[in-house]
Amino acid sequence: MADRHTRSGDVSTGGPGVTTSHARPAGATASTGVLDGQPGGNAPVPPDFRTNGGGLGGGGALPRRKGFGAESVFRVTTLAAGTMVLVVIVAITVFLIAKAVPALRADNTNFLTTKEWFANDTPPHFGIAALAYGTVITAVIALIVAVPIALGIALYLSHYAHKRIATTLGFLIDLLAAVPSVVFGLWGLIVFVQPVRDFSVWLNKYFSWLPLFGGDGPFGRSLMLGGLVLAIMVLPIITSLSREVFMQTPTANEEAAWALGSTKWEMIRTAVLPYGRPGVIASVMLGLGRALGETIALAMTLGFLNEITPNLIKNGGNTIAANIANGFGEAGEIGRGALIASGLVLFTITLIVNMIARAIIYRRREFTESAA
């Protein structure tokens, strides 16, 4: 027993030295003798040596993550901004519904199918049918005219024009988007109306057998004039977005078309246009959203006749936004509620258009990421 007690007290064979070392962190015991020059010594281990695993590859403690740093502030800020957008949209919707319900209850007709707008009469009767028709028709005319021109300009700037010409012309097109809509309206009412009237007379003379260009006049302030003014207004939006999409076409796609012996147009048709199709569709949808919500320019160029007719050149036509701008000042309580109800319809249409455009952009992003 005594012999066993003496051996356990020898640090070279175990005993207290071994027992003490078990209380130390992993990796510290093996390096203790190196630090104090004695094998199996009991010298204290430096704190940094303990943390880093004794320098022998041990698993030291990981650095603590900051609880609230710049990244957290940025994440919270962006989350608040996104939430605020949703809050604003919901608030606008609630406001429009609350203000529109009393007027809709006072309406003696079907709001969705009635063409007349006599919201200030007693009893009031009004409907959104003719206004929605004019809104859609002017926007469609704008897209029919603007989309081919915008795509042609975008392709020229991205693949044909010299870099200096492309930069200058692109800047001028972007500058066109900054012109206020009231300027376009005044220009359409004073300057552009006469060429459109002459063109309408020519169409009526040679193509009056078509319902689109029939009638005996007068011509001028028509759906065609409003649609052409809108086409000039949405042109820079579609052009700028389409140009950026075309310029992002992978070089490998274009070089593959060149390697197969394609001409310039064949390369664009087989490599550029298929790659940029979702982006072009998204740009067209955004231009459509702008055309649907335009107010002042159409308020100055249309003839304010609420009717549903295929004729595009006869004086008349009205849109939801233009009707609100022209009638809000003299409207009574029921009239203002009726205008707000029409604004709710326009808000819904515009929201749907922008959601579709956003969905197309999102699908395009997924396609790009999967291709990468």
What does the pLDDT look like over 33-88, one tens digit per residue? Answer: 444 444 444 555 555 544 454 445 555 565 565 556 788 889 899 999 989 999 99
Report how far residue 350's alpha carbon sits from residue 96's, in angstroms, rounded to the nearest whole number: 14
Percent of the chain with pLDDT strictly greater than 70: 79
CB atoms within 10 A of CB 39: 11
What does the pLDDT look like over 150-193, one tens digit per residue? Answer: 999 999 999 898 888 988 888 888 888 888 889 999 999 999 99
| Average pLDDT, integer, range 338-364 | 83
Burial class of residue 218, CB neighbours in 10 A (0-12, 13-18, 19+) = middle
Which residues neighbour 282 within 8 Å (Cβ) at sequence distance 6 or greater? 241, 357, 358, 360, 361, 364
What does the pLDDT look like over 294-344, one tens digit per residue? Answer: 888 998 888 888 888 888 888 888 899 988 988 888 888 888 999 999 999
Which residues neighbour 74 within 8 Å (Cβ) at sequence distance 6 or greater? none
